């Protein structure tokens, strides 16, 4: 399954946009790119996913590079509730079903 590289940590000021990068240079052509976040003491929460085109939803936007070797999660206005660990995960189709293998993620801190 594809390996990912994300910054260990990032900081943002409240109310400002945040761009969280992810490299996934070994991703296969059919793997969707999923993003999840995990707040302290909670299970991971789905944020967004995409295949080739950029995607938007009420939580965030996902910009996918044309060669699909990288993607960027965009939070348009960071709030204190967005402080979490963000995981970028290619959805690997292995035995039985697709699987999500979590990397170390990026810990986002939001400064008031």
Point out which residues bind another protein (CB under 8 A).
30-32, 34, 36, 42-46, 49, 51, 87, 91, 93-105
Cα dihedral value 87, 51, 68, 89, nearest 10: 20
What's the half-sphere exposure (Cβ side, CA atoms, 13 Å) at 110?
Answer: 21
Question: From the CB of residue 34, how many other CB atoms can be counted at a distance below 10 Å?
Answer: 19
50/78 with CB nearer another protein: 50
- List the one residue out of 7, 3, 2, 38 whose CA is nearest residue 21: 7
Instruction: Name which of 15 and 38 has its Cβ closer to another protein.
Output: 38
Nearer to another protein, 18 or 105 (CB): 105
- The minimum distance between CB 60 and another protein, in angstroms, equals 13
Shortest Å distance, C-beta 15 to another protein: 27
Which one, 85 or 110, has the nearer CB to another protein? Answer: 85
Cα-only R_g, the chain:
13
CB of 10 vs another protein, minimal distance in Å: 17
């Amino acid at each position: 399954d594809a390996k990912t590289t994300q910054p260990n940590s990032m900081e943002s000021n409240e109310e400002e946009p945040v761009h969280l990068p992810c490299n996934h240079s070994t991703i296969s052509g059919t793997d969707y790119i999923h993003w999840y976040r995990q707040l302290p003491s909670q299970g991971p929460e789905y944020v967004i996913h995409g295949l080739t085109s950029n995607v938007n939803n009420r939580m965030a936007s996902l910009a996918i590079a044309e060669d699909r070797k990288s993607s960027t999660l965009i939070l348009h206005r960071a709030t204190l509730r967005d402080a979490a660990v963000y995981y970028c995960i290619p959805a690997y189709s292995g035995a039985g079903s697709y699987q999500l293998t979590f990397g170390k993620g990026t810990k986002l801190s939001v400064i008031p």
